[in-house]
Amino acid sequence: MSAPHIPVMMNEVLESLDPTDGQTYVDGTFGRGGYSKAILDAADCRVEAIDRDPQAIEVGKLMEDQYKGRFMIHQGCFGDLDRLVNIDSCDGVVLDIGVSSPQLDEASRGFSFQKDGPLDMRMSQEGPTAAEVVNTKDESDLADIIYIYGEERKSRRVARSIVQEREANGPLETTFQLADAVRRAVRKDRSGIDPATRTFQALRLYVNDELNELERGLRAAERLLAPEGRLVVVSFHSLEDRIVKTFLNNRCCTHARGSRHLPSVELPMQPTFHFRHKKPVTARESEVAVNPRSRSAKLRWAIRTDAPAMEI
């Protein structure tokens, strides 16, 4: 049986979302429902949740009975969240980016280099698998994927090793075959991090188109949120956090702030969000001690203004 998912920075998520009686919230990454439950228990409110993973949907269906009339689950991508939900606007959107512990722990999902399983990595269990990517892309495309999404400096060596492996022994089918091919190309450095970490991250992000999804999800939240509604995003690595930070800086128009030394200029766009705190919130030491996954979490949040959603 897989480990339960321990929700990260739950108190901080509730503080920033501020669940209130009579309001409606969207949980775009239901997972095992940790955030959804906490929101529903914090106020007499409604939650509509989304996940692309059929196993998460099964858990959500059980929760619909438990919170009758207050909770609803939808299968799909949060990039389409404003089209998936049954409401025209909402008072808060929360996104907890990445994979859940059950996804990582189940060898058959193929996300983990620590468990031998089919090289799958698809959250929605649809579309090309990680095995199809490593067995069909040419060496240079593979190197680009591993460099861009895994930030692996030795991406060309890793791609070469994968191609050598498939030429010598046929297609790579399992997580252990891929991890071994990576480890033959890159040695463990002094950080002690397994060299397979970055290549597995790259393939997961690529297979699930996660970075584009995040950008689409932020824009969809902007369209759905009512004035004063809150957008709360928890992310786990720099590629994701950079997207959230850039989006919020653009939407808060912080880059276009006037200077007292220059004549005032008309802002080209109305800010669609404003910040309460510009800096990200991180997990407290006490949480990191019991849930090491929280160490890399960054929470950013902002409040929707009444300006129309931007079209860019």
Ligand X SMILES: C[S@@+](CC[C@H](N)C(=O)[O-])C[C@H]1O[C@@H](n2cnc3c(N)ncnc32)[C@H](O)[C@@H]1O
Show Cβ contacts of residue 208 under 8 Å, excluding neighbours closer than 6 positions.
52, 121, 122, 123, 124
Judged by beta carbon, residue 44 or residue 58, the one nearer ligand X is: 58
DSSP output for 67-107: TTTTEEEEES-GGGHHHHSS-S-EEEEEEE-S--HHHHH-G
What's the closest the beta carbon of residue 170 comes to ligand X, in angstroms?
Answer: 31
What's the closest the beta carbon of residue 209 comes to ligand X, in angstroms?
Answer: 8
Interface with ligand X, residue 56, by CB under 6 A: yes
Stretch near ligand X under the rule CB under 6 A, chosen from 30-38, 129-137, 261-269, 286-294:
30-38
C-alpha–C-alpha distance, residues 114 and 169, integer Å:
22
Judged by beta carbon, residue 123 or residue 131, the one nearer ligand X is: 123
Pair of tokens at residue 54: 């059929």
# binding residues, ligand X (CB under 6 A): 22
Q: What x-and-dash track marks residues 81-120 binding ligand X by CB under 6 A?
A: ---------------x-xxx--------------------
Which of 25, 35, 149, 200 is in the footprint of ligand X by CB under 6 A?
Answer: 35
Interface with ligand X, residue 33, by CB under 6 A: yes
Interface with ligand X, residue 32, by CB under 6 A: yes
C-alpha–C-alpha distance, residues 126 and 208, integer Å:
10
What's the closest the beta carbon of residue 200 comes to ligand X, in angstroms?
Answer: 16
Pair of tokens at residue 131: 């095995």
Which of 12, 48, 53, 241 is in the footprint of ligand X by CB under 6 A?
Answer: 53
Pair of tokens at residue 223: 């369209």
Show Cβ contacts of residue 26 under 8 Å, excluding neighbours closer than 6 positions.
47, 48, 49, 50, 81, 85, 90, 92, 93, 94, 221, 224
Judged by beta carbon, residue 159 or residue 234, the one nearer ligand X is: 234
Site for ligand X in 191-220 (CB under 6 A): 213
Please give the residue ranges that form the binding site for ligand X (CB under 6 A). 5, 7, 29, 31-35, 50-53, 56, 77-79, 96, 98-100, 123, 213
